[in-house]
Structure 1
């Protein structure tokens, strides 16, 4: 626990310097309905008393590992081998940070080189960078990159793109003065993406599996995009799916981005995570972030170097491809170690277990009265249409010790037509008993 020795005078001076009258004004951008009005805490207490008080508050949370857990929608609970945590805590790795200078240790550079190789192989692309903040910011950076490549300013976002990813792209594009055409949410997986692509399109951004779980055939979208001089940006939020489905690169994608949290990294209350970014060799000089390259020294010995570090700290700001200043290098390390332990065959087996668990769960849940499955195909996540408000059903199931999924209304507020949709994920950590408990509880709630 940190002790911050600031007096009232100190805080007043800081507020005066930045030009706001009170600390509350610093939170003006947060909607009032989302602000905590305050905790009933004493003004002063001993350290042990504070620890006990905060411990009691923390105990009100329900850890994902203590109950049947089916929450996904961009962050997934997978088993991370104990060896991953052991290895990343070794002294030579524990303070691992995305390197700024080429003289960083060879070990760190080699790990990032291996990471890039793994990401390129997973995505079916020719080159990958040394990671990004997370999947959403990687998607926004991919759109900016496509604008640079095509010299155009309009991005088309498919209706199956994760709402948070869409919001990050829209925010970034607004700041850059770029145009975004965001198609309506597509829970049925039936939208006509091709019709939205025209001669002014810079890129079309398509997520597969989509936010609603649908598997999208990217090949015809890539063909239409290329015919119009645009790029296809393929997005994923569940990297585990790449162990089973055809890589986006093989389907014609020009840029592939997504979230790598599922491999090596726990949920950790939403971060830090690890963004993956890969592209074609011909676009490498427009790719944001950094690359680690393999070379030989003056004596012919194998070595690794930073290369193409085209960010604002390395070249003039107006020439940089990205203003990303760092990322979570330790998360990339965890990804690399877990991926190495799995290997190609292990990842494939794990992906098949995920898919099989999800199929079995979907078959059980549609037996509940009034429940409809919206997916013809999916990996480990699917969308249900319920006969009641999905948020209320989730709360009722949580009261029964089941964390049942994510109501679409939570991420798409203001859309009453989506209020009865529930996105459900099932990974290798879900047991037969978990799935049975979920199905039985859903029957009770909907009865």
Structure 2
């Protein structure tokens, strides 16, 4: 389909109506020296068949790899129906216009998405999504400061994804908000309650609680949540939505549950796609709903008793009163949310549970195989979901480079993020990995170590 649907006759009719001889006449006030002229270095256009062949050839030069990298973006099986449905015309350009009620289909989908995410997280309400997990965490920190009023400090464990921590600082630092990091236990890879003791007399707006954390380790979420509430701070859960299929949801942590739950929605039917686009999710308790950025869709009935969907709350007010907006996020990631909603509806609670359980089982099986290799050992003894940190006898970067030459993406080198761990690598196995895949990884890693 052409990007510009006008025929030459259409163009000439429009030009004649405004008294112009050509399109170039519309821009005759631009000095010739400022015009770029033709596109240099751009080859002639190709046909659809030719461009398909070219892109296929280029894709094949990248090779096909067995992927064991996680670190916030995970390779899960996506049923073919998900994107077959999501890319239908009525969904593909989904966006809530400013006269939102005119788009009942989009509103219904967002309403169903919010209902599913509120159920999955155990929270009272969900918004219509965020940019990504990292910016969602930053927005949660801002929510906490607005809610707390007397403190502009956020307590965040160093076991939170390092990119998330970086994004949070970048967003809040110019608003006079202080981000204080908590150390982790070198044995378990968790944030221990004892580490909070030195902060007991200080005032914080919130404590961030990852589950699982960046090391793949499960945190003592009940203890951490209750500690936050005992100090009049909010508890902000940063969660993997796939893990919630088998773990306690944030809304049930401790005696009162977490106050806000955020995370990255990519595991829910979104392909890795070289890093995006993904989407972030945010849910909270009813008491904080007025502090939550983004849109909330509601269900109602019209004067004739017919069911319909409406834009119930839009706390951001960006396009109306920008200076008074709760947040100046631009829009929800509509297409990604569409795919996630379809994925969740197709999988259902049992499908999600089986996917999470198989991912957990595969990771334990992979760990068992890797620990038989000389010089490879598990670094933390805390319980895990589907990622592990292993210590290696040589620099992780060198080993992963060697594995890549053998067709395997072995994991994430942690030396740049956590240099104190030495030669450490974060490894992930999801339900997509077969026993043959796990054997191949262990066998190739053995060969690399024997030759190093």
User: Does TM-score exceed 0.5, indicating one fold?
Assistant: yes
Contact 2:190 2:217 in 1 (8 A): no
Alignment partner, residue 13 of structure 2: none
Contact 2:216 2:389 in 1 (8 A): yes
Alignment partner, residue 251 of structure 2: 249
Contact 2:391 2:422 in 1 (8 A): no
Alignment partner, residue 127 of structure 1: 125
- 2:415 partner SS: helix
Contact 1:156 1:197 in 2 (8 A): no
Tell me the CA shift for residue 308 of structure 1: 1.5
Name whichever of 311-320 and 416-425 sits farther off.
311-320
Distance 1:337 1:106 in 2: 17
Distance 1:376 1:155 in 2: 25
- 2:219 partner SS: coil
Contact 2:190 2:218 in 1 (8 A): no
Name whichever of 48-57 and 104-113 sits farther off.
48-57
Ranges in structure 2 where 5+ consecutive residues have no aligned partner? 4-23, 25-29
Distance 1:310 1:44 in 2: 45
Tell me the CA shift for residue 194 of structure 1: 2.4
2:213 maps to 1:210? yes
Task: Choose from 273, 277, 296 the match for 1:272.
Answer: 277
Alignment partner, residue 141 of structure 1: 139
2:307 maps to 1:309? no
Tell me the CA shift for residue 153 of structure 1: 0.6
Tell me the CA shift for residue 249 of structure 1: 1.1
Tell me the CA shift for residue 54 of structure 1: 6.9
Question: What RMSD in Å do the two structures reach over aligned CA positions?
Answer: 2.7
> Which string of whole-angstrom CA distances, capped at 9 and with x for unpartnered residues, describes residues 252-296 of structure 1?
211000011111110011111111100001110101111001111
- Going from structure 1 to structure 2, the CA distance change for 1:13 and 1:216 (only over 3 Å counts) comes to farther
Distance 2:182 2:35 in 1: 44
TM-score (norm 2): 0.85
- 1:75 partner SS: coil
2:292 maps to 1:291? no
> Which string of whole-angstrom CA distances, capped at 9 and with x for unpartnered residues, describes residues 41-61 of structure 1?
x93533349957776554432
- 1:263 partner SS: coil
- 2:281 partner SS: strand
- 1:276 partner SS: strand
Distance 2:262 2:157 in 1: 15
2:373 maps to 1:368? yes
Task: Choose from 390, 403, 406 the match for 1:400.
Answer: 406
Alignment partner, residue 300 of structure 1: 305
Distance 2:45 2:251 in 1: 54
> Which string of whole-angstrom CA distances, capped at 9 and with x for unpartnered residues, describes residues 293-340 of structure 1?
111111122111012101143542232111001131010010000100
Distance 1:341 1:316 in 2: 39
Contact 1:372 1:385 in 2 (8 A): yes
2:354 maps to 1:356? no
Alignment partner, residue 179 of structure 1: 178
Alignment partner, residue 339 of structure 1: 344
Alignment partner, residue 155 of structure 1: 154
Contact 2:101 2:309 in 1 (8 A): no
Distance 1:171 1:12 in 2: 40
Ranges in structure 1 where 5+ consecutive residues have no aligned partner? 16-41
Tell me how many residue pairs correspond in the alignment. Answer: 411
> Which string of whole-angstrom CA distances, capped at 9 and with x for unpartnered residues, describes residues 123-168 of structure 1?
1111100111110110000000000110121001111100110000
Distance 1:75 1:319 in 2: 34
Task: Choose from 111, 114, 129 the match for 2:112.
Answer: 114
- 1:201 partner SS: coil
Alignment partner, residue 223 of structure 1: 226
Tell me the CA shift for residue 419 of structure 1: 4.1
Contact 1:256 1:278 in 2 (8 A): yes
2:327 maps to 1:322? yes
Distance 1:82 1:429 in 2: 15
Task: Choose from 431, 435, 438 the match for 2:434.
Answer: 431
Contact 1:159 1:186 in 2 (8 A): no
Alignment partner, residue 12 of structure 2: none
- Going from structure 1 to structure 2, the CA distance change for 1:184 and 1:13 (only over 3 Å counts) comes to farther
> Which string of whole-angstrom CA distances, capped at 9 and with x for unpartnered residues, describes residues 371-429 of structure 1?
1112431111111111111111111111111111111135x1xx532341111111111
Alignment partner, residue 386 of structure 1: 392
> Which string of whole-angstrom CA distances, capped at 9 and with x for unpartnered residues, describes residues 12-65 of structure 1?
9699xxxxxxxxxxxxxxxxxxxxxxxxxx935333499577765544324xxx
- Going from structure 1 to structure 2, the CA distance change for 1:10 and 1:61 (only over 3 Å counts) comes to farther
Contact 1:407 1:419 in 2 (8 A): no
